[in-house]
Amino acid sequence: MVSTTSSAKMEYRYLGNSGLKVSVFSFGNWLNSNKQEDYEITRDAMKICYDNGINFFDTAEIYGAGSAENQMGRAFKELGYRREDLVVSTKIFKCGGGINDTFLSRKHIVEGLRNSLKRLQMDYVDIVYCHRPDYDTPLEETVRAMSYVIDQGMAFYWGTSEWPADRISKAIELCERLNLHKPVVEQPQYSMLFRTAFEKDYRRVFGEYGYGSTIWSPLAGGLLAGKYNTGTIPEGSRYAVHQGLEAVSVWNQTMSEDKREGTLTKLRALGELAKELGFTQAQLALAWTIANRDVSTCILGFTRLEQVAENLKAIELYQQWNADIEKKVRDILGNDPESDMDWRKWAPQPSRRDQAVRY
């Protein structure tokens, strides 16, 4: 029988410069949003996560065109958890075929969030994100609308997802000038294979604003799980089943003809290091992400229930993380983002990861 619990105790971190505490691992149901038959996996995975100390659950209106929110809301009702013990987030950008059912106008933000709350069967979410930047809607309209939904009690905090750092800075500064609720968190991609945006582009918003992060795709769409180290796609695996935009993009960026051998060399070396440490390659990749303290929480998704406890075991490796493991991983990856210059010292600045990793 597959164990559903991890022996390691869950860690909690503040969500950026806020007073909200979130589990360092969290659950997202994007992978299980398109088919109604995925409901039982969603519900059972949520229970295992909760039993292991996870308190943060993430979804979005666009996942399955609303079905992901429906499933999560139904599961919470069935499981009967106290609302105060949960941190729930959703994301607004697109849901429906109407001319105003998209993007970040005041109309869609307010109506979209109301519809999300109905699907979730909740009075409020803890965090609502702008799922992508909208350059056609005035930024002031968007930040005023996000501040409004907080004032109306529909959400406690708001954040951004895949926004460029300069747009986040503009939003924060605009909110400060207009005395509005500021965004507190970004939801970006971050993994061993995709580092530059998180570690280089966002370093200012992390350092200057104390911005939080709820990272997604920590296994690079599953590529870091160990099952692709031969360079082939096993039958029934994520890349065989889920051929969406993310999967195609990750595969093309890492396994194209000019990068294939370099990627496979890294994957195999990571597999050997994980084995040496007594963990799986997936657990190594997950522990590496949360070793970075700029990560408030790392969102996990599951297609099989046995993956839940297996992935949560990464906390045990994280608790053993040290400079030696960090260096071994760095030497394997060889992809540190280029450092910014410290012009006072006329020398490269320390990397943001060096500053954020704690031993």
This prediction has a pTM of: 0.94
Assigned domain for 172 exists: yes
Report the CATH number that the domain containing residue 61 is assigned in CATH. 3.20.20.100
* DSSP 3-state of 215: strand
- Annotated catalytic residue, options 63, 129, 202, 211: 63
Assigned domain for 40 exists: yes
Assigned domain for 273 exists: no
* Catalytic site includes residue 63: yes
Which residues lie closer than 8 Å to 326 by C-beta, 6 or more apart?
Answer: 291, 357, 359
Assigned domain for 75 exists: yes
Look up the domain containing 131 and give its range: 12-223+289-305
Assigned domain for 245 exists: no
Assigned domain for 41 exists: yes
Assigned domain for 329 exists: no
Tens-digit pLDDT string for the chain (359 aa): 345 665 569 999 999 999 999 999 999 999 877 666 789 999 999 999 999 999 999 999 999 999 999 999 999 999 999 999 999 999 999 999 999 999 999 999 999 999 999 999 999 999 999 999 999 999 999 999 999 999 999 999 999 999 999 999 999 999 999 999 999 999 999 999 999 999 999 999 999 999 999 999 999 989 999 988 988 777 766 666 655 556 667 777 888 878 889 999 999 999 999 999 999 999 999 999 999 999 999 999 998 899 999 999 999 999 999 999 999 999 999 999 998 899 999 999 999 999 999 88
Residue pointed to by tokens 């589990």:
23
Assigned domain for 85 exists: yes
Please count the structural domains in the chain.
Answer: 1
How far apart are the C-alpha atoms of 74 and 89, rounded to whole Å?
Answer: 15
Measured from the Cβ of residue 315, the count of other Cβ atoms closer than 10 Å reads 24
